Structure 1
Amino acid sequence: MKCFKTFPFGVTYQHWRDPSITRDEWDRDFRTISEYKLNHVWLAVHWAKVEKTPGRYDFSEIDYMVELAKKYGLKVHLVLEGYRGGEEGPPPTWLLRKHRDVYVEEGIDWGETEAKRICPNHPAVKEGIRRFFEAVAEHFRDEDAILLYNIYWEPNFMCRCKYTMMEYVKWLKRKYGTIERLREVWMSPNIEDWEDIVEFKHRIGLGFPYATPILDWRAFCLYNVANIIREGAEALKSKDPNHPVLCHPVLSMVNSGYSVSVGVDDWLIARSVDVLGTSFYPTIPTGRGPLKPAVDGWLWAEILDSLRSAAGEKPLFIAELQTHYRSRYHPLDRVSPSQLQMLCWLCIAHGAKGITMWKWRPFLRGLQLSGRGLTLYDGTPTERAEAAKKVGEVLEKYSDMFLEMSPVKAEAAILFNPMAYIKLLHLSQKPGSVEYCVSDIGGFYKALWENHIPVDFIRPEDIEVGRLKGYKLLYMPFTICLDKSVAEKLFEFARNGGFIVADSPCVVTDDFEVECYKVMPGAGLDKLFRCREVDLYAGLDSAPDPTPYRKKQAGSGIRIRTTVTHPALPNTEIGSTFSGSLYKEKLEVLPEGEVLGVFEDGSPAVIASSHGKGGVVFIGTCIGRSYLRYGEEGVRRLIAGFAKWAGVVKPVKLLELRGGPIDLTVHNYAGDKILFAINLGTQTLVAKLGVRTPNEAFRCLSLLEDKEIPVEYEVGILTFRTCIPPNGIGIYRIARR
C-alpha cells in the first residue's frame, strides 16, 4: 500500500509549547528545516483551541502554519489533539462545564505530572471528537500540503466508567450471545443481568481461581482502544478519503508488557488506520542509559521487525524518532550525529516508509526541559541536524526506490500471542513475570538476527486464516496458551512440509481458559510433538528479571547434552552441552518421538519427530530466555541450526567479518536487490558479503559513495568487500549490467 509520493523525512515543530518563539522565528525555522533536506513538519491542531464555542471552528492559527510550510515546500504531518486529553490536548472548557463526568475512572495513574484524561467512550466526548475530526477533514480535504492525519499519538487508555462498561457489555454479548452462556463460562452464578456488569464493573465474577473474566476484560481493553481509533479514522475518511490516517503507539508490544497493560495492540491498531506508526526511542527498553548499538542493536531490529509484521501490507511510519536525550533531568540517553544517521537507516532497512524526528528545537519548559531537538535553544542547527541533512539528501535522490522497495520475504516466523502476556501480567501472581515471554521471544530473535536470518512475527489469528503458507519454519517461544482451532493448523502446516520448534511451556491452556487441557502440550499437540509433560521443576533463574537485556553470569542449574546426530541439529555435535532456563520439564516420550538431548539426570530434554512432509522439535526448557540471559554460543548455533534443517535460505551471506556486530537486510526493487549493511560496533568494520544472483550479469553499486564496487561470482552468489566506519552504513544496489 503506497500512501506517499516522496519518502517522508521530517521533524516535529511544536510552536504552541514555547510561546516565546515569535512568528518571525517560525518563518526562519521552516526555511532552515527545508534547507536541511527535511520535507515535512509535524504540526498539531487542538480541539480546545479551534472549537472554543460549540459548533464554531476557527482554524486560523493552524492555517497560518500550513501556509508557512507551503512557502518552503514542506508537507504537514497533522496531529489531531482530541483523544489524549491531559496537558497535550485538553477538551474544550464548554464541554467540561456541561459534562462533569468525562474523565476516566480508575484508569492509568500518571501522577501529578500530567492532567487527567477524558474518556472517549463518553457520549459527549465521542460526539464532540467526531464533529471535530469531520470539521478538520472538511477544512483540509483539498489541501495538497497535508501529508497525513495523525489521529492518536502514543495511545494508552484504560477506564471503568459506566460508558466504557457499556461498551464492554456490547463486546461480551457479541462473544457469548446470552447471559446464561457468560454465567456458565465465567462460573459466576451471581450475575443475573448484563446491567450487573455495568454496575459492579468488571470485578464481578472474579472469584479465584477463575481467570476468564480477567482475560475477557483485558482482551476487551485491547479491542476498545483499537475501536476508538477506528471510529475516529472513519470520521476523518467520511469527509476526506484522500489523505491517509496514522496512529502511533510507543515502540512495540512484543518487547515489553507495557502496551498490553495500557490497552494497546499494534496489530489491531494497524487494521484501524491506513498507516501504522511508532515512537521509536531506542533507550527506553534498556532504562534510558547511553545508546549501545553493539549491545542493543538486535533489540532495535526486533522492535522494528515486529512493527513491520503488525503493519502487514500497510506502511510503517516512524512518527517519533529520538534525536537526543530526554531532558536535562535525564541526560544519559544522548544521541551522537553518527548514531542519529544510523538510527534513521536502521528504521528504513527494517521497513519504515517515513520518519518524523522528535523534534526541531529542544524543549524550553516542562518534563522534557532541554531535551530532544536538532538545534540549540535559539534554533541554530547542531551537528545532529547536519547528520539528518545527509540522510535527507540520499532519501531525496533515491526517493522512489526507498518508497517502493520491499523486504525479501522471510521464510521463518516467530509466534506471538498477546494473551500469553496478559496471563503473565494479571494471573501469574509474580510481578514482572511477563519478562519470561519477552525474553524467550527475544532470545530466539537475537540468535536468528545474529545469523542474518530474517523473520516475521505471526499471531494465532494469522495462522487460523492460513497465513503460515509461504513460511518454512515456525518458532513457538513460551506459547503458554493456544486455541484448538490454531493447533489444528499446525498439524496441517507440518503435514505439508513445514517445520516447527517449540520450547517450554507449550500450550498449557487455551487463550481464555474455557477448555481445560488435561495433557500438555495441550490441544492435541502432544500427538504432534510426540511427548507429554509429567512433571515440572523450576530453574535457579526462575525469578523475573528486571533487566532482561543484560547478560547474566549466574546459571539456571539446567543443563542439556545432545546425544545423537540428527538433521535438526546440523550445527551441534554429539555431546555438546548448553544451558536451559526457568523450567525443566519431565517428559514422557511417545511412540515415534526421538530423543536428541537429555538433561543432566538423563531424562529427555529435546525430542524430534517427523510429521507428514515436515518435522517438529520440542525442548523442555526456555531455550530463548537462556540465550538472552547467558549468551552461550551453543544455544545460538542450536536455534540457527533449526533454520538450516528447515531449508531456510539466507538472502545475504556474511562470508568474512572483522569488527561488528553488523545488521544486514535485503530488499527487492524493480528486479534488483538493495542491501543495507549497518555497523553497530565501535570499530571500523571490514566484511565480505554475498548476495544470491542467478548468474554473473550483475554489478554492485554503492549508493552512498556513488560508485561501482568490484565483485566476484561464486556459484550463484555475487560477492564483494566493504569497509564501514563505526555507526556507519553501506547501501548497495545489486543490479543487472
Structure 2
Amino acid sequence: MDQFLFGAVYIIEQDYTQEEVRRDLSYMKDCGFNLVTLWPVCNPWLSQDSHQWIFTQTRQVLDVCESLGIKAILQLFGQNQAQEFMPDSALTEDMLVYDERGEHINENCFWANLNHPVVRDYMDRYFQEAITLLRDHKAVYGYDVFNEAHFRSDDPYTIQKYQEWLKETYGTIEHLNRVWHRRYESFGQISPKRRRSPYSIWSSIMPDLEYERFRSVTLTQICSFLYDTARKYDTTHPIIIDGTSAQILSGDVTLRNNDEFATAKIPDVYGSTFYPKSWGRNYRNTPWTMSMYYSVPAGAARKAGKPYMVNELQTHTQSVLTPGSEVTPQELYDWILMCMFTGANGMQLWRWRPFLHGYQSTGRGLTSMDGTPNERAARVKELMDLVRENGDLFDSFQVENQAVKIAVSYSSRLYFDAFLKWNNSFWSEDVEGWYRLFWNRGLNPEFTDIEDLEGEDAKVLVLPSALSISEAMAEKLTAYVERGGILIADARMGSVNEYGEVPAEGIPGRHLSRLFGLREVDVDSGHSFYMKDQCDGGEVESKDDGIPCNFMEQRIEVDEDTRILGTMEDGSPAVVLHPYGKGCTLYFNSFMGVELKKQNIPQVEQLVMDVITNRHDSLFTAEKDSRVHVASIRSEACRAILIINFNETEKEVNLHGLGDKIELVNLLTGDTAKVCGQAKLQIPGNTAYVYKCQEEFK
C-alpha cells in the first residue's frame, strides 16, 4: 500500500452479526485506518467438532475489508491455542508446558508445549488449512505467525533440544567439562535440574547461565519453525513475528526469554507490542523510559535490516479492576507519535472494541461497549487526518541516523544477572540511566547488538554493565574506535570472557586494557568521585559535591596517555579519557548509569557531551526540560521534528544543528519560522507538535 499503514486489532467475536462487523470496520475506515489485524482466524464456534477448522466468518470479515479498501493481517498464533491450532480435546499431559517454577508462572500465556512433535503437527496442519483457504483473498496483507513471541518450558522434549544445542555449542564433552568443571561422559547425561547447585556455580556460572541462554535459543528455533511452516503454504505475502515489549529491560529477563536481536532476523517484518500503563508500568512522569521501551525492538528490526511494525499499542484500561491503567485521549495521541518517530513502517492499536468477556472485560478499546467510537477514537482520527494530509512525510520515512547507540545483548544481561544469582538485577537501570543522559539532549539512542558490531558506524557507542566480553568482541570494539568511534563504558567491563572466566592478565583483559588505557587494581564501595573543571590553564578539582559511586567502584591505574577527568576522594582515577586510533574511549569506574537514572547530573552530562561535540560539532541536539521529548524522522521529500511536552505548563525548547536557512512549519498550528542553525520554540503544556523542516529559503 502507498499510504502509511495504521489501524487496530479487530477481534472476531462469535456473537457479532455481519451488519455489526460492517459497522465496526466502517467506523475504522472513517478514522483513517487502512489496516486491521484479525483474530482468531478460525471460527471454532462454527465447527461441528473440536478437530474441525472453519473460516467462514473470517472470510466474511475479509470481504468487508476489501469493500472498504482495508488490508488485514491474519494473526495465526496469538496466545490462546484453543481458539487457534490446538483443540483442548487433543491435549494429553505430556503435551503441556512444564515450568520448574510452578504451574501458573506463565498464567498469562499459552499452555501447549511448542516443542512437542504432536503439537507442532497440529500447528502445521492449521497453518496449511488457514493459509491455503485465505491466501488468495485480496484483503490479505500478510500473516502474524507468533504474537509476543515467548516460550518457557522444562519438559523432556525441550531438555533434549538443550542437550543437542550444548553439543553444537561446545563440540566435545571434554571441552564442556573443562569450562563447566564437571565430569560428564555424554551430552545426553546433562540435566538442568541441578544447574544451580552451590558448589557447581562456585566453580563455574556456565551450567546455570547456559540453560537460561538456551531458553532464548529454543524460542528462536520455534520462531524459525513457524516462519518456515507458513512460507511453505504462501510464498508471496509477508510474514510477521512480534517481540515482547522490550523484554530485555524487564525485572526478570528469563520469564519470556526473547532475544529480540535474534528473533528479528527471522520474519519478513518484525513487530512489537507496547503497554505503557499496564502491569505496574506508568511512564507518564518518566517519558525517557517510554522512549527507551519503544527503542529496543525498533533497533532490533533495523539491525536485522527488516521493516518494523508496532502491532499492539495500549488504548485504555487493562480490565474491570485496574486503576492507574487509564489512557487519556492526549496520552494515546502522544504515544502513537512517539512510536511512529522510532521509525515504524506501520502501527496498530490494541484494540478497536473493549473486551466483552474474560479477565480483561471492559478493558482496552477505542469505542464504548456497544461499539460506537469514543473520544479516544476521535483523537486518533485527528492524528490520522494529519498523517494522511502530509503523505510526502509520513507515507515512507525513516528515523534519522542515530549518533548514539547502546550496545546490549541477551547474553550480556544473563551474565550480569547470574553474578547476582538472579536476584535484584539493576542491569536495566544502568542502561536506562545512560539512555536518559542522551535523551536529555535530544539524542535518543538506538539499541544495537554488542555481539554483532561488524562495520558499526555510530558516532558514539555505549556499553553499560558489559561484564562479559569475548576476545572477538574486544577486537571489534577496538576496530570501531580505531575508525573514529567514541566508546563509553562503566564499572567492571570485561570482568569475564564468554566462558565466565576472568582474564589471566587481569581485568579488563589485554585488548580492552590497551583500548581504554587502564587496568583494575582493586574494588571498593560506598565512596564518591569528583569531576575536574576545565579552565584555560588545564584542569582543576571541582568544588561541587561528590557524585556517588553507585553499588561499587573499581580502583584503577592508567597509562601515561590517559587523561584523568574525575577522581575518587583519595585522588585516584575515577573517570578517564583515552585516545586510540582516530577515536577515543571514556570510562567510569562505577555503575554510572544507575546514578544517572536516579538523578540528572549536569557535570557528567556536560562532560559526555563535550567529549562528543569536540569531535562532532554539528549534531542535532536540544536544550529542554526533563519531561519534554524530542525526536526526528526523514522522508525523501523532507524532515520532521516531534516535540512532546508532558508537563502541564508551557516549556521552552532550543534546537541546535538544524542547518542553515531552514523554514519550520508547525503542522498542528500552521505557524512558520525561518531559522538559521537553531530555533527557540515555546511548547504549551500537555501538547505534541510536529514541525516539518522545509527546504532552505533564500
Give the Cα–Cα distance (whole angstroms) in 2 for the partners of residues 36 and 283 of structure 1. Answer: 24
Residue of structure 2 equivalent to 1:484 = 471
Structure 1 residues 624 and 288 mapped into 2: Cα distance closer, same or farther (>3 Å)?
A: closer
Q: Is the 8 A contact 1:130 1:235 kept in 2?
A: yes
Query: 595, 602, 614: which is aligned to 1:626?
Result: 595
Residue of structure 2 equivalent to 1:158 = 152
Moved more, 407-416 or 665-674: 665-674
Residue of structure 2 equivalent to 1:672 = 638
Counterpart residue type for residue 36 of structure 2: V
Query: 280, 287, 297: which is aligned to 1:297?
Result: 287
Residue of structure 1 equivalent to 2:570 = 601
Residue of structure 1 equivalent to 2:11 = 14
Residue of structure 2 equivalent to 1:543 = none
1:355 alignment partner, SS class: strand
> What is the CA distance between 1:310 and its match in structure 2?
0.6
Query: 698, 709, 712: which is aligned to 2:675?
Result: 712
Residue of structure 1 equivalent to 2:357 = 365
Give the Cα–Cα distance (whole angstroms) in 1 for the partners of residues 396 and 439 of structure 2. Answer: 24
Does residue 309 (structure 1) correspond to residue 299 (structure 2)? The answer is yes
Structure 1 residues 505 and 495 mapped into 2: Cα distance closer, same or farther (>3 Å)?
A: same
1:440 alignment partner, SS class: helix
Q: Under a length normalisation based on structure 2, what TM-score does the superposition of the two structures give?
A: 0.91
Does residue 274 (structure 1) correspond to residue 237 (structure 2)? The answer is no
1:324 alignment partner, SS class: coil
Q: Is the 8 A contact 2:86 2:122 kept in 1?
A: no
Q: Is the 8 A contact 2:440 2:626 kept in 1?
A: no
Structure 1 residues 592 and 718 mapped into 2: Cα distance closer, same or farther (>3 Å)?
A: closer
Query: 647, 653, 658: which is aligned to 1:692?
Result: 658
Give the Cα–Cα distance (whole angstroms) in 2 for the partners of residues 533 and 419 of structure 1. Answer: 23
Give the Cα–Cα distance (whole angstroms) in 2 for the partners of residues 87 and 134 of structure 1. Answer: 17
Counterpart residue type for residue 367 of structure 1: Y
The correspondence of residues 221-620 of structure 1 with structure 2, limited to 5 A, is 221-284=215-278, 287-289=280-282, 292=284, 295-312=285-302, 313-399=305-391, 401-429=393-421, 431-433=423-425, 435=426, 437-463=427-453, 466-468=454-456, 470-513=457-500, 516-522=503-509, 524-539=511-526, 558-563=527-532, 565=534, 574-576=542-544, 577-620=546-589
> What is the CA distance between 1:721 and its match in structure 2?
4.1
> What is the CA distance between 1:625 and its match in structure 2?
0.9
Give the Cα–Cα distance (whole angstroms) in 2 for the partners of residues 691 and 734 of structure 1. Answer: 15
Does residue 64 (structure 1) correspond to residue 60 (structure 2)? The answer is yes
Residue of structure 2 equivalent to 1:218 = 212
> What is the CA distance between 1:566 and its match in structure 2?
8.7
> What is the CA distance between 1:75 and its match in structure 2?
1.7
1:344 alignment partner, SS class: helix
Q: Is the 8 A contact 1:52 1:94 kept in 2?
A: no
- In the alignment of these two chains, the number of paired residues is 688
Structure 1 residues 55 and 517 mapped into 2: Cα distance closer, same or farther (>3 Å)?
A: farther
Does residue 73 (structure 1) correspond to residue 69 (structure 2)? The answer is yes
Structure 1 residues 88 and 367 mapped into 2: Cα distance closer, same or farther (>3 Å)?
A: farther
Q: Is the 8 A contact 1:623 1:635 kept in 2?
A: no
> What is the CA distance between 1:582 and its match in structure 2?
1.1
Residue of structure 2 equivalent to 1:548 = none
Q: Is the 8 A contact 1:413 1:456 kept in 2?
A: yes
Counterpart residue type for residue 444 of structure 1: W
> What is the CA distance between 1:229 and its match in structure 2?
0.9
Residue of structure 2 equivalent to 1:130 = 124
Moved more, 147-156 or 220-229: 147-156
Q: Is the 8 A contact 1:498 1:646 kept in 2?
A: no
Q: Is the 8 A contact 2:298 2:342 kept in 1?
A: yes
Counterpart residue type for residue 467 of structure 1: G
Moved more, 681-690 or 305-314: 681-690
> What is the CA distance between 1:175 and its match in structure 2?
1.2
2:163 alignment partner, SS class: helix
> What is the CA distance between 1:161 and its match in structure 2?
1.7
Give the Cα–Cα distance (whole angstroms) in 2 for the partners of residues 474 and 115 of structure 1. Answer: 36
* Unmatched segments (≥5 aa) in structure 1: 540-557
Does residue 42 (structure 1) correspond to residue 37 (structure 2)? The answer is yes
The correspondence of residues 651-670 of structure 1 with structure 2, limited to 5 A, is 651-654=620-623, 661-670=627-636
Structure 1 residues 611 and 580 mapped into 2: Cα distance closer, same or farther (>3 Å)?
A: same
> What is the CA distance between 1:88 and its match in structure 2?
6.1
* Unmatched segments (≥5 aa) in structure 2: none
Counterpart residue type for residue 102 of structure 1: M
Give the Cα–Cα distance (whole angstroms) in 1 for the partners of residues 416 and 582 of structure 2. Answer: 35
Q: Is the 8 A contact 1:326 1:371 kept in 2?
A: yes
> What is the CA distance between 1:304 and its match in structure 2?
1.8
Counterpart residue type for residue 384 of structure 1: R
Give the Cα–Cα distance (whole angstroms) in 1 for the partners of residues 678 and 177 of structure 2. Answer: 64
Give the Cα–Cα distance (whole angstroms) in 2 for the partners of residues 161 and 562 of structure 1. Answer: 54
> What is the CA distance between 1:538 and its match in structure 2?
2.9
- After superposition, what is the alpha-carbon deviation per residue over 1:118-171, rounded to whole angstroms, capped at 9, x for unaligned? 111111111221232233222232223122311111222111222112222222
The correspondence of residues 82-97 of structure 1 with structure 2, limited to 5 A, is 84-85=79-80, 89=84, 91-93=86-88, 95-96=90-91
> What is the CA distance between 1:378 and its match in structure 2?
1.1
- After superposition, what is the alpha-carbon deviation per residue over 1:279-309, rounded to whole angstroms, capped at 9, x for unaligned? 1111248x245x52xx221111112222211
Q: Is the 8 A contact 1:533 1:588 kept in 2?
A: yes
Q: Is the 8 A contact 1:202 1:217 kept in 2?
A: no
Moved more, 309-318 or 130-139: 130-139
Give the Cα–Cα distance (whole angstroms) in 2 for the partners of residues 575 and 254 of structure 1. Answer: 39
Residue of structure 2 equivalent to 1:729 = 689
Structure 1 residues 111 and 265 mapped into 2: Cα distance closer, same or farther (>3 Å)?
A: closer
Does residue 102 (structure 1) correspond to residue 102 (structure 2)? The answer is no
2:38 alignment partner, SS class: strand
Give the Cα–Cα distance (whole angstroms) in 2 for the partners of residues 650 and 305 of structure 1. Answer: 20
Q: Is the 8 A contact 2:311 2:348 kept in 1?
A: yes
Structure 1 residues 284 and 446 mapped into 2: Cα distance closer, same or farther (>3 Å)?
A: farther
Q: Is the 8 A contact 1:473 1:646 kept in 2?
A: no
> What is the CA distance between 1:427 and its match in structure 2?
3.9
> What is the CA distance between 1:472 and its match in structure 2?
2.3
Give the Cα–Cα distance (whole angstroms) in 2 for the partners of residues 143 and 23 of structure 1. Answer: 18
Give the Cα–Cα distance (whole angstroms) in 1 for the partners of residues 374 and 687 of structure 2. Answer: 18
Structure 1 residues 106 and 648 mapped into 2: Cα distance closer, same or farther (>3 Å)?
A: farther
Counterpart residue type for residue 431 of structure 1: N
> What is the CA distance between 1:254 and its match in structure 2?
4.1
Q: Is the 8 A contact 2:97 2:112 kept in 1?
A: yes
Counterpart residue type for residue 565 of structure 2: L
Q: Is the 8 A contact 1:677 1:730 kept in 2?
A: yes
> What is the CA distance between 1:725 and its match in structure 2?
4.6
Give the Cα–Cα distance (whole angstroms) in 2 for the partners of residues 607 and 459 of structure 1. Answer: 25
> What is the CA distance between 1:250 and its match in structure 2?
2.6
1:271 alignment partner, SS class: coil
Give the Cα–Cα distance (whole angstroms) in 2 for the partners of residues 623 and 514 of structure 1. Answer: 24
> What is the CA distance between 1:102 and its match in structure 2?
0.9
Give the Cα–Cα distance (whole angstroms) in 1 for the partners of residues 122 and 588 of structure 2. Answer: 54
Give the Cα–Cα distance (whole angstroms) in 2 for the partners of residues 156 and 137 of structure 1. Answer: 23
> What is the CA distance between 1:724 and its match in structure 2?
4.2
- Report percent identity of matched pairs: 24
Give the Cα–Cα distance (whole angstroms) in 1 for the partners of residues 589 and 678 of structure 2. Answer: 41
Counterpart residue type for residue 571 of structure 2: G
